Amino acid sequence: AVVVVDQVSKTWALRALQDGPIELFWTLQFNLTFNTGAAFSRFPGLGPYIGILAAVVAVGLLWSGRTVPTRTGAVAVGLIFGGAVGNLLDRAVRAGAGCLGGGVVDFIDVQWYPIFNVADVGVVLGALLLLFATARYGDGDPADDAEADEAAAGDGTEQSTDRLVDGP
């Protein structure tokens, strides 16, 4: 879903923003730019290397994502993967210098932060969600979560010795 929304929004931006930015409200505007470097437009011209790194990350996410035991973790990995693929597609298909040398289409401009796109939002939200899932579920072993839920329910049929406290 992230890849589709990202690519559709970038296609719209390429058509609608050729004549200049569209101001929305406060400091938010749509403003078309192309990033041939890394995040925040650092290291311009290193797109092919960044593209290779993004491809490796995407393959790694696919590989590790098949064993994510929680739904929250799986959604997080999916958001990050979708964002990486969305920007990788730009590097592969946009005009640029050599293989993966195309510029990533960025167009969401708040004017006090670097210009970004839907794929970037997917990566950031996915990373935050992954941090949340890790903090909430730890290693994510579903058996541990089920046992903890049963103990917390206190149905009276089992007694957990780790919750007993000596003393008054």
Q: Which residue has the tokens 């470097």?
A: 37
What count of other Cβ atoms lies within 10 Å of the Cβ of residue 55? 16
Element (H, E) at 148: helix 142-153
Phi-psi group of 73: left, alpha or beta (phi > 0 → left; psi -120 to 50 → alpha; rest → beta): alpha
State the Cα angle at 46 between 45 and 51, rounded to 5°. Answer: 125
The reply to whether 141 belongs to the active site is: no
Q: How far is CA 17 from CA 27, 33, 129, in A?
A: 17, 9, 31
Residue in 106, 149, 155, 166 annotated catalytic: 106
Does residue 106 contact residue 116 with C-beta atoms inside 8 Å?
yes
Rounded CA separation 164/110 (Å): 54
**Token digits of residue 73:** 């973790």
Residue in 120, 139, 149, 162 annotated catalytic: 120
Q: Which residue has the tokens 């932060």?
A: 113
The reply to whether 106 belongs to the active site is: yes
Q: Mind telling me the catalytic residues?
A: 106, 120
